């Protein structure tokens, strides 16, 4: 292997670190992820009982046709919908009990205690998925302005544990990105470094 390193197309030396052979990608498993609810004022609360989170993005697109042409001349771009599912493991309380407790100041309505709130009554909130593996590499994914729409729970003698499923729609998303590079576009202020580190530890 050459010892002088590598150069880019302009002849600038990149050294060995600039070699395509030294570039690595990082993967994460489910146990490397912590889900955090981003609260008003920059505070955050981890959702310890969230076992599964999924999302999908749909955007309406329709062909633009012209007389005498088989193929479409182009495509219109309609509204986008971001939706998904939150699956909680149930212990001794309602799945959203701790979230409602943390959001009590924002969500308490006239004549209502925060603990009585159902998911569809909650004000929108963000969920940040923080990925950190054993090599110290980290990434983030952020679902913005989540509104809970449906929820359900099944208890059965045939189940070894109980789960609660909540469907949601989201206003926007910061797709997954490595933290050292930052997001492609920032839709929300980042967690402060101190808060973020407390969930990475």
Q: What is the CATH number of the domain that holds 175?
A: 2.30.110
Domain membership flag for residue 129: yes
Cβ-in-10-Å burial (0-12, 13-18, 19+) of 143 comes to: buried
**64-68, 131-135, 180-184: segment of lowest average pLDDT:** 180-184
Where in the sequence is the domain holding 96, given as residue range(s)?
A: 33-59+71-200
Provide the whole-model pTM. 0.74
pLDDT at 179: 82
Q: Is 28 a member of any domain?
A: no
Q: Specify the 3-state DSSP secondary structure of 200.
A: helix
Classify residue 12: in a domain, yes or no.
Answer: no
pLDDT for the residue 41: 60
Q: Is residue 15 part of a domain?
A: no
pLDDT digits (tens, 9 = 90+) for 57-114: 999 999 999 999 999 999 999 999 999 999 999 998 888 887 777 776 666 556 666 5
3-state secondary structure of 61: strand
* Residue 23 within a domain: no
Output the average pLDDT for the chain.
Answer: 80
Tell me: pLDDT of 19 over 90. no
10 lies in a domain?
no
C-alpha to C-alpha distance for 123 and 56, rounded to whole angstroms: 21
162 by DSSP, 3-state: which?
strand
Number of domains composing the chain: 1
Predicted pLDDT of residue 2? 45
Q: What percent of the chain has pLDDT over 90?
A: 39
For residue range 43-56, list pLDDT tens digits in order.
Answer: 678 888 999 999 99
Domain membership of residue 3 (yes or no) is: no
């Amino acid at each position: 292997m050459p010892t002088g390193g590598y150069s880019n197309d302009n002849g600038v030396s990149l050294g060995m670190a600039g070699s395509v052979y030294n570039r690595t990608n990082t993967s994460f498993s489910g146990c490397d992820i912590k889900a955090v609810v981003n609260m008003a004022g920059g505070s955050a609360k981890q959702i310890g009982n969230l076992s599964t989170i999924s999302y999908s993005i749909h955007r309406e697109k329709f062909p633009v046709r012209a007389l005498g042409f088989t193929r479409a001349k182009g495509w219109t771009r309609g509204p986008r919908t971001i939706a998904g599912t939150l699956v909680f493991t149930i212990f001794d309380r309602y799945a959203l009990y701790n979230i409602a407790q943390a959001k009590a100041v924002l969500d308490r309505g006239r004549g209502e205690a925060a603990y009585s709130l159902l998911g569809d009554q909650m004000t929108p909130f963000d969920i940040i998925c923080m990925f950190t593996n054993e090599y110290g590499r980290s990434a983030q994914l952020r679902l913005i302005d989540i509104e809970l729409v449906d929820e359900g729970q099944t208890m059965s003698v045939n189940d070894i544990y109980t789960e609660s499923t909540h469907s949601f729609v989201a206003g926007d998303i910061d797709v997954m990105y490595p933290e050292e590079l930052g997001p492609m576009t920032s839709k929300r202020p980042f967690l402060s470094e101190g808060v973020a580190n407390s969930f990475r530890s």
